[in-house]
Amino acid sequence: MQVVHVLTLGAALPAVVHDRVLTGLEDSLLSSGAIRIWIEPDQPGLAVVAEFAELPSCSRASTSGRGSSFDPSLQGPV
């Protein structure tokens, strides 16, 4: 098993931002093979950690097409 620190979100962000980012991140990590995901309580902010049985490949072929699923309707007012 491999445990990886994935992301840290600032605690000062609004709850709606935390919810959207963490929900999308959870979906992405699970579809990438994460078997466990948690927020590390001893870290500042919201430090997301995931455990993988085997880390997914980091080749360019496996990441092609990413970013094409951006949904502007999820974007709040600027």
β-bridge partners, 37: 50
Q: For the chain, which residues make up each domain, given as ranges?
A: 2-56
pLDDT tens over the chain, length 78 residues: 899 999 999 989 999 999 999 999 999 999 999 999 999 988 888 999 999 988 877 654 444 444 444 444 444 443
Residues contacting 78, CB < 8 A, separation 6+: none
HSE at residue 38, side-chain half, CA atoms within 13 A, is: 8
d(CA 35, CA 10): 25
Model confidence, pTM: 0.67
d(CA 2, CA 14): 31
